[in-house]
A and B are shown apart, each in its own frame.
Chain A
Amino acid sequence: MEKTKELQKIEDQFKTFQILDEKGKVVNEKAMPKLSDEELKELMTRMVYTRIWDQRAISLNRQGRLGFYAPVAGQEASMIGSQFALEKQDWILPGYRDIPQIHYHGVPLDQAFLWSRGHFGGGQMPEGVRVMMPQIIIGAQITQTAGVAMGLKKNKEDAVAITYTGDGGASQGDFYEGMNFAGAFNSPAIFVVQNNRFAISVPVEKQSAAKTIAQKAVAAGIHGVQVDGMDILAVYVATKEARERGLKDNGPTLIEALTYRYGPHTMAGDDPTRYRTSEEDSEWEKKDPLVRFRKFLEDKNLWTEEEEDKIVEQAKEDIKAAIKKADGAPKQKVSDLIENMGEELPANLQEQLEEYKAKESK
């Protein structure tokens, strides 16, 4: 397609925002966030922890000790950097891959494992932890986020609603509707698109002729920014700015984070070698968010191998304990499922509840 000047002008407005390059060097000193040494170390701790969690989850899934699992390795910076910019009072509406964000917002690991296995306990979010259950219908979380953000604004709360989808998700109608509603109502919403270049096997080029996903913000008349999603500082800063924009009543923001998943789409039989080259994989491995942030911290004498080993051990122990706890969850009964159907059960369910209770007491 030959580009018109108009098209080029739009694309030029969405240049990738980056703070750390692949070697861990600061390339945008002006944009550096004011984070303490402790906070910087916490970011790295969470990325290492999440990488181990991902490795363990894949192997637990292979052993049949976990169910549905969507790998996250490669996306640690975009997931953890964006969540780190939030406050406890902010709402998260995750997609099915966005389990790390809700974990760091307060959902315990064992509950994440129950959700993976398919147990209603996985959706019983702890009191005061403002997260919705991971959304399977790609796009539904986006229109819902417009509603949560409107509610927060009506309640005059000092809070925003953030949601996540992938590059494929940006083709859904609900993606546009959600952004457009939040724009029309000027609600404090943040829409994050984690563009890992593939929706299962379909490359992002087959989703749209648009050069960036960030520029889709133009259709809603809202702010849009493209960030290096392998750079945790850039993701953090972009989310922080979006949050402040929302709180100052300046409307929602679309953030496109350029990232990559090293693993398959899910553990349900997807084989990335069918649609990705090993050259592409190794090119993105050079961009690993852990590698560059580790170098950055080491240059500041804030990180050592021993520290990292300790975190790896801690993660493994926590995961073991969480799986054990998940194993201990009571088995689900049909009567539990019926009782969760409504505040007051309609007559048909009352009748079926009695039937199943009788069956269960045998």
Chain B
Amino acid sequence: MAQMTMIQAITDGMRNELKNDEKVLVFGEDVGQNGGVFRATEGLQKEFGEDRVFDTPLAESGIGGLASGLSVTGYRSVMEIQFFGFVFETFDAIAAQMARVRYRSGGTYNAPVTIRSPFGGGVKTPELHADSLEGLMAQTPGLKVVIPSSPYDAKGLLISAIRDNDPVVFLEHMKLYRSFREEVPEEEYTLPLGKAEVKREGSDVTIITYGAMVHASLKAAEALEKDGHSAEVIDLRTVSPLDIETIIESVEKTNRAIVVQEAQKQAGIAANVVAEINERAILSLEAPVLRVTAPDTIFPFASAEDVWLPNHKDIVAKAKQVIEF
């Protein structure tokens, strides 16, 4: 075991797979000699060579096409989009091409591609760096969308994503890259995709969340505890497909739920979680399922992040609203 930040755990996951499978390739803008703008690929080119870990021209669509093409010649691509706000450039390559290739070839071809990309607010990045666009990906049949919230989860989920024989979008929250350390095994391990984790057990209300909001929700749960309310916190870990079983089991126990996301109300995946609960557990509900989200504006100018991003206070307030309904 070693104490690792999430970024170190991600590097470790890639190193593990580069070692494990010679068909794994890591590429993107500045991921080679530079080791990535966040050092996520630090040291990998030196260790595995330019043939395995390399820089590309500055063109996201080209990077996506490259990954698709490499798939049919037997390679397993781990491509990086420097910031997920740049996904629009390569939307076709991901959503209309690699997500569909198995289906449109009737199972003849597949795209074992992992799309790694940082996102998330709270670090005052310039425009279109921090936007939460997982909702767009979650609406695309053929893609899995994974969002870890801890170093341990990041490594295990990334190894699983790379080994998956269909495309996986792996979104890394920038604020979580170095915000804390955690014990992470140095040897390889995997965590199943599509499986949530109960981060904190509780009996009065279920808080369903992912990404940086997991930590805000845990902080909110502590505050609620002081006020005599027991909150259960579920970290979805995979936002598409959802782990319905874990969600419903918890809601049936607590009879109350809120869904917390950093994305705007009209975006993200919270509405989907609410709909699933309504369809499957309405008879267990003592109150409507409410959402904590950002407002439906464009992502804020950097100095407005603090007033715009949802935080633990918003979660406490919404949880109380549900409890006191």
- Chain A 104-130 interface residues, beta-carbon cutoff 8 Å to B: 120-121, 123-125
Docked complex Cα distance between A57 and B19 (Å)? 51
B114 within 8 A of A: no
- Closest chain B CB from A340 CB (angstroms): 5
Q: A7-32 interface mask toward B, CB cutoff 8 Å, 1 = contact, 0 = none?
A: 00000000000000000000000000
Cβ A347 vs Cβ B69 within 8 A: no
- A-contact 0/1 string along B25-68, CB 8 Å cutoff: 00000000000000000000000000100001101011011111
Q: Taking A143-B93, A181-B66 as contacts, is the C-beta distance between A346 and B57 under 8 angstroms?
A: no
CA distance A181 to B97 in the complex (A): 18
Whether the Cβ atoms of A181 and B73 lie closer than 8 Å is: no
Stretch at the interface among A60-68, A172-180, A287-295, A315-323: A172-180
Report if A198 contacts B (CB, 8 A). Answer: no
Decide if B108 touches A123 in the complex (CB within 8 Å).
yes
Alpha-carbon distance between A91 and B70 when the two chains are bound, in angstroms: 12
Inter-chain contacts of B165 with A (CB < 8 A) = 343
The 8 A CB mask of B92-113 against A (1 = contact, 0 = none) is: 1100110000111111111000
**In the complex, which residues of chain B have a beta carbon less than 8 angstroms from the beta carbon of A132?**
72, 105, 109
Minimal beta-carbon separation of A216 from chain B (angstroms) = 16
A185 → chain B, closest Cβ, in Å? 8
**Which chain A residues in 128-147 approach chain B with CB under 8 Å?**
132-133, 137, 140, 142-147
Cross-chain contact B241 with A346 (CB below 8 angstroms): yes
* B70: contacting residue among A142, A147, A174, A180, CB under 8 A: A147
Cα separation A349 to B93 with both chains bound (whole Å): 23
**A102 in contact (CB, < 8 A):** no
Least CB distance, A141 to chain B, in whole angstroms: 9
| Contact flag A143-B103 (CB < 8 Å), given A161-B69, A342-B142 | no
**Distance in Å: Cβ of A268 to nearest Cβ of chain B:** 19
C-alpha gap A123/B108 in the complex (Å): 8
Interface residue tally for chain A (C-beta within 8 Å): 42
A91-106 interface bits toward B, Cβ cutoff 8 Å, 1 = contact, 0 = none: 1010000000000000
User: Do A125 and B108 touch (CB < 8 A)?
Assistant: yes
Enumerate chain A residues within 8 angstroms of B241, measured Cβ to Cβ: 346-349
Looking at B64, B108, B110, B165, the one whose CB has the most chain A CB atoms below 10 A away is B108
Smallest Cβ-Cβ distance to A142: which chain B residue: B65
- Per-position binary interface string of chain B over residues 202-235, scored 1 when its CB falls under 8 Å from any chain A CB and 0 otherwise: 0000000000000000000000000000000000
Instruction: Please state if B92 and A137 are interface contacts (CB–CB under 8 Å).
Output: yes
Other-chain residue from B51, B59, B97, B166 in contact with A177 (beta carbon distance below 8 A): B59
Instruction: Determine the distance from Cα of A41 to Cα of B104 in the docked complex, in whole angstroms.
Output: 36
| Surface stretch bound by B, among A79-87, A150-158, A273-281 | A150-158
- With beta carbons under 8 angstroms apart, the residue of A149, A155, A174, A341 that contacts B103 is A341
The smallest C-beta distance from A265 to any residue of chain B, in angstroms, reads 21
Q: Are A150 and B69 in contact (CB under 8 A)?
A: yes
B316 on interface, CB distance cutoff 8 Å: no
CB distance from A146 to the nearest CB of B (A): 6
A337 within 8 A of B: yes
- Which of A147, A150, A343 gathers the greatest number of chain B CB atoms within 10 Å? A147
B252 interface residue (CB < 8 Å to A): no
Q: Which of A123, A124, A337 is most buried by chain B, counting CB atoms within 10 A of its CB?
A: A123
B72 touches A148 (CB 8 A): yes
- Most chain B Cβ neighbours within 10 Å, of A132, A133, A146, A151: A151
Which residues from A are CB-within-8-Å of B70?
147-148, 150-151
Q: Contacts A140-B97, A149-B69, A178-B62 hold; do A123 and B106 have CB atoms under 8 A apart?
A: yes
Residues on B with C-beta less than 8 A from A144 are 65, 68-69, 97
A218 contacts the other chain (Cβ, under 8 Å)?
no
Is A334 in contact with chain B by the CB < 8 A criterion? no
Judge whether B104 and A120 touch: CB under 8 Å.
yes
Cβ of B157 < 8 Å from any Cβ of A? no
Contact of A347 with B51 at beta-carbon distance under 8 Å, contacts A140-B93, A150-B70, A151-B70 already known: no
Q: Which residue of A lies closest to B89 (CB)?
A: A173
A143, A154, A161, A346, most chain B CB atoms within 10 A: A143
- What residues of chain B have their CB less than 8 Å away from a CB belonging to chain A? 51, 56-57, 59, 61-62, 64-75, 92-93, 96-97, 102-110, 141-142, 144, 164-166, 194, 240-245
8 residue pairs bridging A and B, Cβ less than 8 Å apart: A123-B105, A125-B108, A143-B62, A147-B68, A150-B73, A155-B73, A174-B65, A341-B103
Q: Which 5 A-B pairs have the closest CB atoms?
A: A147-B69, A143-B65, A151-B73, A177-B62, A346-B241
Known: A132-B109, A151-B70, A346-B240; 14 extra A-B contacts, CB below 8 A, are A91-B72, A91-B73, A124-B105, A143-B61, A143-B66, A144-B69, A145-B65, A155-B74, A178-B62, A181-B57, A340-B103, A340-B106, A343-B110, A343-B165
